Structure 1
Amino acid sequence: MANRQRALIVDDEPDIRELLEITLGRMRLDTRSARNVKEAREWLTREPFDLCLTDMRLPDGSGLELVQHIQQRHPQVPVAMITAYGNLDTAINALKAGAFDFLTKPVDLTRLRELVATALRLRTPQEEELPVDSRLLGDSPPMRALRKQILKLARSQAPVYISGESGSGKELVARLIHEQGPRSELPFVPVNCGAIPSELMESEFFGHKKGSFTGAIEDKQGLFQVANGGTLFLDEVADLPLPMQVKLLRAIQEKAVRTVGGQQEQVVDVRILCATHKDLAAEVAAGRFRQDLYYRLNVIELRVPPLRERREDIGLLADVMLKRLAESSGLPAAQLNPDALEKLKSYRFPGNVRELENMLERAYTLCDDEQIQTHDLRLAESSGLAEAGEASLAQIDNLEDYLENLERKLIMQALEETRWNRTAAAQRLGLTFRSMRYRLKKLGID
């Protein structure tokens, strides 16, 4: 059976080795066993493997050393670490070192089979960098580095905290990590944590049973159940209230959830990716975000660069966006005047790629003869929003009008970023919903 996949099992306990050999044998894998790091390295030199399972404590070293060795010499082989129950620090260190995933003792066979099946679905990397596609454009050094990191993180099951400013493309990065990984055929479920009313959060995340509360007219699956087998992307995770943070931490640690009104816990196999435009470490320091949850979510941090750090990509992005606008409208494509392009390259872009897209859509509508001039970009108007508070006295004719105009722009930006969810926009601006409703009415925004 030369075409059968092979697994290397590394453990100094004969009973554990036998259990793993039998389980993997039933999954039609050929297995080889090693009692220590030395034997494992010898096997890796002699034969190719599709998977390695290693204990943390070995007679002549640690499983962590073996993970690092495989990362350097055999990076195509996914490694899963087996640790003592409750030893979360060890598991997190293994994930940071490059382990694919981890198991705790006593080994749960259902969880073992899921892990093995997921690992074997990994594609052997054909190249070191994710190919450029129409969604993640740019040939600047920060973007090349980002694509390389996405490809590497797609081969792991470690939780990833995606940091970056609003509009920089954090959800797209999460989606690409999912699409390039072994869960790509299973659901990718994005959720904006700031858009869910606090009283409905538990039901949204974990589901509910019919009759468990007023309005629960039928059983409902939660986001964890919907994402089972796939990836759950928690956007704006810093907006979770503290009571929900406790429940989320337990669900992640136990890999199980209990529906509202339910008696039994349901085992769920979900990879967690999260993002926020806020500084999560600062939120922890301020007491608004639990340190233990931060530690669990931020196993690996991936920073998405703001647009001002990759100005050389602006021309390519603008070309693609303008072609897309032409296709969707059925009208001829517009070109950026060289002066207009230079102005874009010198602009700060506080709203990043999303702001560039909105700006070009407006300019495309306003321009004449399919030529976008500098004045079509309305950069002065955008700069007023970007440089709030930096206007000189000479620019202000009427303070009341100026402040009202600035307030309107900031509220509109918050509404657009939260897809017109008023509750989420109010939270983004640090307002109560009542205050937000009053301002919308005052400014005539519907």
Structure 2
Amino acid sequence: MSQQTVLVIDDERDIRELLTITLGRMDLQVDAVGTVAEARRALAGKTYDLCFTDMRLPDGNGHEIVEHIAANHPEMPVAMITAYGNVDAAVNALKAGAFDFVSKPVDIQMLRQLVRTALRLAEEKRSGKTAAKAGNAGDRLIGDSPAMQQVRATIAKLARNQAPVYIAGESGVGKELVARLIHEQGPRAAGPFVPVNCGAIPSELMESEFFGHRKGSFTGAVGDKEGLFQAAHGGTLFLDEVAELPLHMQVKLLRAIQEKAVRPIGAREEIPVDVRILSATHKNLAALVEQGQFRQDLFYRINVIELRVPPLRERRGDVPLLASFILQGLARKDGGRPSELLPEARQALEAYDFPGNVRELENILERATAMCDGEHIDAGDLMLPQRMPRADAATAASVQQPAPVAAPSPASATGDGGLDDYISNLERGAIVKALEESRYNKTAAAKKLGITFRALRYKLKKLGID
């Protein structure tokens, strides 16, 4: 097998020598140049397996090189060398098509890991393995609609680089599945995929959960603990509901992503981590930035590329395929034959808006399978909520705003339980009602109640609501 080759473009002699020596020890052949013009000549006369380019060059900049390689050598991964802490340059490089970036001063351990990942990706592109993996993994993303075909095509493209991806979409559309497919179709597929719901971690435990801690660093730290970043080393960290991160944690997360290193609580030194970041939320992250609830610098760092997953109501033609897939899965779990949708049931599903998207469809079909007689599901078995018929404004107002009912006074309502019990009962009733109206989607219920997801989880536990 011929020796793999790398092109290094940097006007600093020390950087060129460092990279040449380091890569040479990895049994790679290295050509090093110092200008854009020399780089263009090298690329015109030779095929390389990987390229490193500095941001600032005497006769141009690294973006020219990235764009040139993307247009003329799309199979070649290119990594940008940026100044320490220059997150804007790194983000712009990734948007231009760079595979990844390296910060000065160059960390040799991180450099070697990046090279191994990049060369593995290049080999997969040449052998066609990436396309094969895309076909197999994509089988789980059900739907033939143009919207889903576009999503699958975008996933295949995103899997080929290391740029952070922000997955936007409503609750229940399958954002975690999309993240898993990006991971599985890329060069990190052999590494871990670590999903974390940012809204489910108590604020006071977040730093320990993300970065780990050392024994004795705080009360209860009875041993060393590995954080989520370390657990995802060499793979992908998926930050679901990233909008739920408190501001103090957003600062720490930005630094970890930018410096590619974490410092466990109680540790003196940072630990290098090689992790690709994928994130998602059902909220409008740009609006939260404008409101000051989400840091703009972190938003731009995780939102290098945005992938929107369409809601089910925008791809109604996929409902029958999805329903068939779900029913077959339910049958395998129960060990029987899959139930069949009668025409009226199929039409009812295609006409329904699915505010809870694919997750709601799964719940509806699981319930219908249990309720139907025999192996056929009719429209009545689905028990879909009845939509309110259109009416004039006065009628709608009278329906939506029932006559006020006098609230019981605390004295009469509390009985022997006292005011605390009375307030708890009111809270319990409001929470149960919100859960029922949102089909037990806790995120949607929290939004109805005007509280955070974390606050709702606390109240559920406090009030003993299962």
Q: TM-score, normalised by structure 1?
A: 0.88
Cα deviation, residue 328, structure 1: 1.1
In structure 1, which of residues 241, 246, 254 is the aligned counterpart of residue 259 of structure 2? Answer: 254
> Within 5 Å, which residues of 2 pair with 1:36-435?
36-122=35-121, 123-124=124-125, 126=128, 127=131, 130-131=134-135, 133-380=138-385, 406-410=433-437, 413-415=440-442, 427-428=452-453, 431=456, 433-434=458-459
* 2:329 alignment partner AA: R
Contact 1:160/1:298 (CA < 8 Å) preserved in 2? yes
Unaligned runs of 5+ in 2: 389-394, 406-428
1:22-81 per-residue CA deviation (whole Å, 9 max, x = no partner) reads 221111112233433333333333333211111222333322112112112211111001
Taking the aligned partners of 2:340 and 2:457, their CA distance within structure 1 comes to 43
Taking the aligned partners of 1:105 and 1:404, their CA distance within structure 2 comes to 52
Cα deviation, residue 130, structure 1: 3.3
Secondary structure of the residue aligned to 1:52 is strand
Cα deviation, residue 392, structure 1: 7.9
Secondary structure of the residue aligned to 2:196 is strand
Secondary structure of the residue aligned to 1:216 is coil
Secondary structure of the residue aligned to 1:249 is helix
Question: RMSD in angstroms over aligned alpha carbons?
Answer: 3.0
**What's the % identity of the aligned pairs?**
60
* 1:199 alignment partner AA: E
1:106-148 per-residue CA deviation (whole Å, 9 max, x = no partner) reads 3222222121111111120734993264421112111111111
Cα deviation, residue 204, structure 1: 0.9
| Cα gap change, 1:408 to 1:294, in 2 (>3 Å) | closer
Taking the aligned partners of 2:171 and 2:317, their CA distance within structure 1 comes to 20
Cα deviation, residue 294, structure 1: 1.2
Secondary structure of the residue aligned to 1:121 is helix
Deviates more, 1:359-368 or 1:8-17: 8-17
Quote the residue 2:426 is aligned against: none
| Cα gap change, 1:141 to 1:355, in 2 (>3 Å) | same
Cα deviation, residue 177, structure 1: 1.1
Taking the aligned partners of 1:404 and 1:193, their CA distance within structure 2 comes to 22
Contact 1:414/1:428 (CA < 8 Å) preserved in 2? no
* 1:30 alignment partner AA: Q
Aligned residues: 429
Taking the aligned partners of 2:79 and 2:201, their CA distance within structure 1 comes to 35
Cα deviation, residue 227, structure 1: 1.2
Unaligned runs of 5+ in 1: 385-389
Taking the aligned partners of 2:454 and 2:268, their CA distance within structure 1 comes to 39
* Larger Rg belongs to: 2
Taking the aligned partners of 1:269 and 1:426, their CA distance within structure 2 comes to 35
Secondary structure of the residue aligned to 1:380 is coil
Contact 1:414/1:429 (CA < 8 Å) preserved in 2? no
| Cα gap change, 1:32 to 1:328, in 2 (>3 Å) | same
Cα deviation, residue 408, structure 1: 4.0
| Cα gap change, 1:394 to 1:294, in 2 (>3 Å) | closer
| Cα gap change, 1:403 to 1:237, in 2 (>3 Å) | closer
1:159-198 per-residue CA deviation (whole Å, 9 max, x = no partner) reads 1111111011111111111111121111111111111111
1:254-293 per-residue CA deviation (whole Å, 9 max, x = no partner) reads 2221212222221212111111111111111222111121
| Cα gap change, 1:169 to 1:10, in 2 (>3 Å) | same
Taking the aligned partners of 1:72 and 1:197, their CA distance within structure 2 comes to 46
| Cα gap change, 1:33 to 1:210, in 2 (>3 Å) | closer
Contact 2:133/2:184 (CA < 8 Å) preserved in 1? no
Q: TM-score, normalised by structure 2?
A: 0.84
